[in-house]
Chains A and B, each alone.
Chain A
Amino acid sequence: MIENRPLLTFVSHLLLVLGVAIVAFPVYVTFIASTHTAEEVLAAPMSMLPGGHMVENYIAVLTHGAGEATAAVGRMMVNSLVSALVIAVGKIAISLLSAFAIVYFRFPLRTLAFWMIFVTLMLPVEVRILPTYKVVSDLGMLDTYAGLTVPLIASATATFLFRQFFLTIPEELAEAARIDGAGPMRFFWDVVVPLSRPNIAALFVILFIYGWNQYLWPLLVTTREEMYTTVIGIKRMIAGGGDAATDWNLVMATAMLAMLPPVAVVILTQKWFVKGLVDSEK
């Protein structure tokens, strides 16, 4: 505190509380809607206090989904979890390996490889939808976990982050390993990976959220309901434009379930998360 200005301090707290309230409001309303019956949600204005149907709504979506056209949300959450884990672990694994190759070896095509990885930053799936879909479909990967995950596990960001970090590992360690007769992979497993643990943890949080929240890609490659991820499931539930026929209480229960895992991960691992976010953008 530079100087004491009680009025300004009061105003800043007031504004922050207001900001927190506005940020939280949509989620509060979502939660409230998920505890009412469909009819109660349709009564404008809907009650702003929790209703008594929370447990049955959540059980209903987890086991049966909402509307006629959707699979059980429980199944979708399993799909989301599998995709998010495979994407996070896959991105970290292949990025660790390629960064290790780029930093600790000198080989022809090294610079080319580096630039090729860099260029992927400018080619998100959104700008190459049709041809990428065709590749995945030709490979028979539609409606498979491989199709949901493998095309997304190249990662320029993670590779650069690990490369930056490897460059700070003291030269003496590699030298000592070499003198002791340890090969490169021994050095990788016994020195590089353990030293990278904080970075791996931080990246894992970011990438898990990235994987869980994927939208366009699962929308393209899943046609069978049992392969939908939770985020896609919600989109299908309100496909009619979200009119009165939509069971909003069930849609909102699904929205709560779709938000819960990534939000919990961010709040529980806040330190890693903030580090991962700030580091990976440097």
Chain B
Amino acid sequence: MAMEKRVRFRSWWLPYALIAPQMAVTLVFFFWPAGQALYQSLFIENAFGGDLQFVGLDNFRELFNDVHYLASFKVTALFSAAVAGLGLAISLLLAVFADRAVRGAAVYKTLLIWPYAVAPAIAAVLWMFLLNPTLGIVSWWLTRAGIEWNYVLNGGQAMLLIITAAVWKQVSYNFLFFLAGLQSIPKSLLEAAAIDGAGPARRFATIVFPLLSPTTFFLLVVNVTYAFIETFAIVDAATSGGPGQATEILVYKLYKDGFKGLDLGGSAAQSVVMIVILVTLTVVQFRYIERKVQY
């Protein structure tokens, strides 16, 4: 596909007018605040408010010496790995079976994709209700099975709650991409392998999974980004980062320290760290998209 048009229109002002609304929103609500965050990350606010004092990289030094911040990194790593790992594994399993069920595939697709439309915060509320220590139906089953369940007090269980809600919401998205990937694998390849005596498991391991790897990798990046950013709503609605700091992922800590704790310099430094992480993820994602043509 051509990357440039041969035929163009000529006007010295029209293109600027066309692009102006997008640029205005981008500059006012994206670049200006992000610039502010960068700038403020180098300052601290005086105890009495108002005056800013330049401190160089002190905010960053403090951040990376802060046990709470480092703990939040650990929580985020665990959470993201669990959300991405479980989310991909479950949706791949469902997609592989849906792809097999030739006639049923469309029906299963309809029945599995709708959680995409559920807001993360609502997903959190649904699972909170099921797992509520006093009135949740699932908690009641767990208690009968001899498991002491109280996510309000138990950090590990709170983590399980937000992972469950996050994965539940994301499976439909992953499922759609895996199913599309599976349906684009040439059937002749699989037939040839079957004739040569490869069973379904062998075919999956040696043909299907390798051919799916671009989709898997793309989804991995998307899911990690989702776990980093969009799950804010799940954490805020379900656990508020607690108990203690057990579910305080980075983006939630940034919100808490900045918006609730009003720590200007420290939260600006956290913003900068988050932006660096996102830039890395985006670069990885776009580099992969360029290479995808190999397959």
Interface residues of A (CB under 8 A from B): 1-3, 5, 8-9, 12-13, 15-16, 19-20, 23-27, 29-30, 33, 41-42, 44-46, 48, 93-95, 97-98, 100-107, 110, 113, 116-117, 119-124, 126-136, 150-151, 153-155, 159, 164, 166-168, 171, 174-175, 178, 183-185, 187, 209, 212-216, 219-220, 231, 234-235, 238, 241-244, 248, 251-252, 255, 258-259, 262-263, 265-267, 270, 273-274, 277-278, 281-282
User: Whole-angstrom distance between the alpha carbons of A262 and B115 in the complex?
Assistant: 10
B residues at A contact (CB < 8 Å)? 1-3, 5-12, 14-16, 18-19, 21-23, 25-34, 36-37, 40, 90, 93-94, 97-98, 100-102, 104, 108-123, 125-130, 132, 134-135, 137, 140, 152, 168, 171-173, 176-177, 180, 187, 190-191, 194, 200, 218, 222, 229-230, 232-233, 236-237, 251, 254-255, 258-259, 264, 267-268, 271, 274-275, 278-279, 282, 289
**Min C-beta distance of A171 to chain B, whole Å:** 5
The answer to whether A213 touches B258 (Cβ under 8 A) is no
Contact of B22 (CB < 8 Å), options: A1, A94, A131, A216: A94
Q: What residues on B are CB-neighbors of A216 within 8 Å?
A: 232-233, 236, 255
Question: A262 to B169, alpha carbons, bound, how many Å?
Answer: 13
Q: Which residue of A106, A151, A174, A209 contacts B29 across the interface (Cβ within 8 Å)?
A: A151
| Given A2-B194, A44-B140, A231-B122, A15 and B32 contact (CB-CB distance below 8 Å) | no
* A104-B8 in contact (CB<8A): yes
Residue of A nearest to B175 (CB): A19
User: Do residues B122 and A258 form an inter-chain contact, with CB atoms below 8 A?
Assistant: yes
Contact B26 A105 (CB under 8 A): no
Q: Shortest distance in angstroms between A195's beta carbon and chain B's nearest beta carbon?
A: 14
Tell me whether A154 and B25 are in contact in the complex, defined as CB-CB below 8 angstroms, given that A130-B268, A234-B125 are known contacts: yes
Within the complex, the shortest CB–CB distance from A110 to chain B, in Å, comes to 7
Q: Which residues from chain B contact A255 at a C-beta distance below 8 Å?
A: 122, 125-126
Most B CB contacts (10 A, CB to CB) among A110, A135, A244, A282 go to A135
A248 touches B129 (CB 8 A): yes
Question: Is A116 in contact with B23, judged by CB distance below 8 angstroms?
Answer: yes
| Nearest residue, chain B, Cβ from A43 | B135
- Write the chain A residue with the least CB distance to B103: A1
Q: In the bound complex, what is the Cα–Cα distance between A174 and B255 (angstroms)?
A: 49
> Nearest chain B CB to A30's CB is how many angstroms away?
6
Name the prevailing secondary structure of the B interface residues.
Answer: helix
CB-CB under 8 A from A8, the residues of chain B are 100, 200
Q: Please report the C-alpha to C-alpha distance between residue A214 and residue B230 in the assembled complex, in whole angstroms.
A: 10
Can you name the residue of chain A whose Cβ is closest to the Cβ of B201? Answer: A8
Bound complex: CA of A263 vs CA of B122, how far in Å? 12
Most chain-A Cβ atoms within 10 A of its Cβ — which of B22, B29, B112?
B22
Contact at A13–B26, with CB atoms within 8 Å? Answer: no
Could you say which residues of chain B place their CB within 8 Å of the CB of A131? 32-34, 36-37, 40, 268
16 of the cross-chain contacts (CB-CB < 8 Å) are A13-B101, A16-B104, A44-B137, A102-B19, A123-B275, A123-B278, A126-B254, A128-B37, A128-B271, A129-B267, A154-B26, A212-B119, A214-B119, A238-B125, A241-B152, A270-B110
Residues of the A chain whose Cβ atoms lie less than 8 Å from the Cβ of B23: 98, 113, 116
Question: Which of A9, A133, A166, A277 contacts B259, CB < 8 Å?
Answer: A133
Does B114 lie within 8 Å of A267, measured CB to CB? yes
Question: CA separation between A241 and B241, bound complex, in Å?
Answer: 12
Given known contacts A45-B140, A130-B264, is B187 in contact with A244 (CB within 8 Å)? no
Complex-state Cα separation, A273 to B176, whole angstroms: 11
What residues of B have a CB within 8 angstroms of the CB of A238 in the complex? 125, 128, 237
CB distance from B197 to the nearest CB of A (A): 11
Q: A259 to B117, Cβ gap below 8 A?
A: yes
Q: Select which of A46, A235, A241, A277 is within 8 A of B135 by beta carbon.
A: A46
Cross-chain contact A30 with B126 (CB below 8 angstroms): yes
User: Once the chains bind, are A167 and B29 in contact (CB under 8 Å)?
Assistant: no
Which residues on B sit within 8 Å (CB–CB) of A130? 37, 258-259, 264, 267-268, 271
User: In this complex, what residue of A is CB-closest to B126?
Assistant: A26
B contact residues around A94 at 8 Å (CB): 21-22, 25
Please state if B33 and A135 are interface contacts (CB–CB under 8 Å): yes
Q: How far apart sit A277 and B22, CA to CA, in the bound complex (Å)?
A: 22
Of B5, B140, B255, the residue contacting A167 (CB under 8 A) is: B5
Closest to B242 in A: A241
- A277, closest chain B residue (CB): B176
